Amino acid sequence: MSVIAQQEVSVAPALPPAATLDDVLRHASPAEVISAALKIVGREHLALVSSFGTESAALLKVMADVDPAIPVVFLDTGWLFQETLDYRDALTRQLGLTDVRSIKPLEETLSREDPDKELWFSDPDACCRIRKVEPLARALKPFAAWINGRKRFQGGVRSDISVVEQDGSRLKFNPFANVSREEIEAIYTSANLPPHPLVASGFLSVGCMPCTSRSEAGEDERAGRWRGRSKTECGIHTTPTS
């Protein structure tokens, strides 16, 4: 075992059971959930994973108010809209985030498994695996817990998520599990947060360019993701990270 690995093991916190934490935090505010995660895990072992998508600014604002130095993991898949990359940079400046880490898929993996850049069409699950799931697992190796922005009102498999979950050997905090769309809008208004640039064009949920389309009136907000396919999740929330 390397010296670095020994250090990581020696300082890793002993984590309480996710179910116990969920019982305590299931009615807590998003800020209280993030503060609890920070206290339990410690900043060096806690990361927030953000897509810098259409609702990401609200969670990032709450986190920044608690501690703007919490590491933020951003998965730069190579297929993102330029508007998303620009939005990442703008929010980072506005919120004073000090540790945003843009993680890319490994070039050798892309060359081997997606040399023609057509995997998104022939096998979108495999495309998500090499561009999102595997990079996230790599990025989260130093961390004992992570925070994400899923909400129950988004529906589908997200409709009954807990505030705290077990994700392999890690804890997974969902501070916005209980919030409503109106509460998120209130955060945007009170903090004067800019919307994602593509919202005005009809994109209610933004992911990678080939697999994201505009949503029609009355559709579920994630209807524009992988349209025409049974796929509804990229895999980072359905595949344990360790």
What is this structure's pTM? Answer: 0.88
Tens digit of each residue's pLDDT (9 = 90 or more) over 95-107: 999 999 999 999 9
**DSSP, res 153:** G
Tens digit of each residue's pLDDT (9 = 90 or more) over 17-56: 999 999 999 999 999 999 999 999 999 999 999 999 999 9
Share of the chain above pLDDT 90, in %: 72
Q: What is the pLDDT of residue 205?
A: 87
* Residue 223, amino acid: A
If phi > 0 it is left, if psi is from -120 to 50 it is alpha, else beta; for residue 208 that is beta
Class of domain 3-200: alpha beta
Reported confidence tier of residue 12, pLDDT bands at 50, 70, 90: low
pLDDT at 122 exceeding the cut of 70: yes
pLDDT at 8 exceeding the cut of 50: no
* Residue 15, amino acid: L
CA distances from 25 to 8, 33, 34, 100, 196 (A): 27, 6, 10, 26, 30
**DSSP, res 145:** E
Q: Catalytic residue numbers?
A: 234
- Which parts of 173-231 fold into alpha helices (H)? 181-191
